[in-house]
Every structure is written in C-alpha cells, then in structure tokens.
Amino acid sequence: MIPAPPAGSITIAGKPVSRLGFGTMRLTGPGTWGDPDDRETALSVLRQAVHTHGISHIDTADAYGPHTVEHLLRKALYPYPDHLLIATKVGMVRPAPGQWKPLGNPFYLRASVEASLRRLHVERLELCYLHRIDPEVSRDDQIALLHALQDEGKIGYIGLSKVTPEDIRYVLKYRPVAAVQNVLNTTDCYDPAVEMCRDLNIPYVAYRPLGAGAIANAHGPAAPLHWLLSQGPHIAPIPSTSQPRHLDQIVAAVQNEQA
C-alpha cells in the first residue's frame, strides 16, 4: 500500500507525485562532497521518504558528491516504484568541496546524461534539469543538446534550474518546460518566475525551502513550508535532510497543515 502523499499531489513530468518532495543534496559529505559520514543512515532516509512517508518526488543531481547521491538512490530504491519520479540535473562541475561551476559544453552534457543513466540504472531520465545555464556557452547549443537527447528517448522531460523569466520564455519558444527549480523561502521570498510559472501552469520546484545554515537550524519546518505551500498549488518544495528524525518533523509539519 502506497502512503498518502504529504501535502497532496501535483503533476510533474506527466506524473502525479507528492507535492512535498525530497531534496538529496545533504546526503553527501561536507561541502556536498564525497560520501556521507553514515552511508546506512543516508540509505535509510531515502527509503523512509518513499516507503514510509509516501514522498514520490525525489530530486538529485550528478554534481551531488559528485555522483554520490545517484549511486545511493540506486542502492536504496532500485527497482524503483512505478509512482516514483526521480529528477536529476546535469551541467555543473565540482572543482573541489563547496565549489560549483556551470559547464554547458554539449559534449559534456551528453556524457553527463549517459553517466546518470548508468548510475541510476534506467533507460531514460524522466526529468532532467539543466542545472545552470552556462554563460560561457551558447544557450542555443545547451538547449539543443537536451532536446536532441529527448528526441533520442534518453530524457523524458526537460527542466530548468536557477533561471529568470527571460530564460524560461526563451526555451518555451522551442519546447515545453516541464518544471522550474529556483530557490524560494521566507528569506529569499521573491522570484518573478513564481508568478510566471503559475500563469503558464509550470510546476515551480522550490529548493532550499527551509532557508540555509543558521537560519534553517533556528526554525522548525512548519512555518516556512506552510508559507511556501500557500504561494500557489504549482509550488512543490523539496526540503533536504540527512536525519530520519528531521524528515519525520518535515512530513508532520505539512500533514498537520492539511489536518
């Protein structure tokens, strides 16, 4: 039996999934680098999210580790339940712990998608985001490569991460945008893409929904998640945690709001 989805459902990449998703960025070592200190706990958190709490939208990226979390997902959840959406991202390289650099070279993007397919052990990435638009590479070339991979059946739906309304409009001239993933929380509380996505019926996936660092640790999850969910039914927050107890608190916060 599949648990009821926390905070209700939303359709992303053609699939009804839980509106409360789970971000996997914290399931690595410090600086989003290398393996987590406790690998078994990381695997347990992933299983808890899906099998205990009914979260069916898991967000990851090849840059988390790099590669670490995609391996963890396969270990924890493969064979994947039919109702589960695993979204990943390509287009970011990791020179060192805590360092991030966009890399939109089409050859690199293709190699990254092929590698994510192998790590996740799937024939198609259901939802693949361009992690960042690389300002040093032609935007046309980056988007065209993802469209080519979509035509080849290696990507199901294409999403955009950390983009402006102008970026979204540009891509929409060619093909649909399945989801937009930008930072949104009670501190970073304004993003013009929120209204645009609402008007165009594009799911808006809010990353870092609980804030960051000391701010996130100083407040419980209830108030920031309730604020996010009140911004519109197209908003899908993806809080991240490495601790089973904290995940329980996150889910309880949105379930209490529904009650």
List active site positions.
64
Maximum distance among all alpha carbons in the chain? 49
Number of Cβ atoms within 10 Å of the Cβ of 73 = 24
* Of 146, 125, 151, 124, nearest in space to 134 by CA: 146
- In a 3-state reduction of DSSP, which class is residue 11? strand
Q: How far apart are CA 50 and CA 76, in angstroms?
A: 10
Number of Cβ atoms within 10 Å of the Cβ of 157 = 22
Q: SS in 3 state form for 24-75?
A: CCCCCCCCCECCCCCHHHHHHHHHHHHHHCCCCEEECCCCCECCHHHHHHHH
The DSSP secondary-structure symbol of 240 reads: B
C-beta separation of 108 from 78 below 8 A: no
Q: How far apart are CA 60 and CA 70, in angstroms?
A: 7
Number of Cβ atoms within 10 Å of the Cβ of 81 = 10
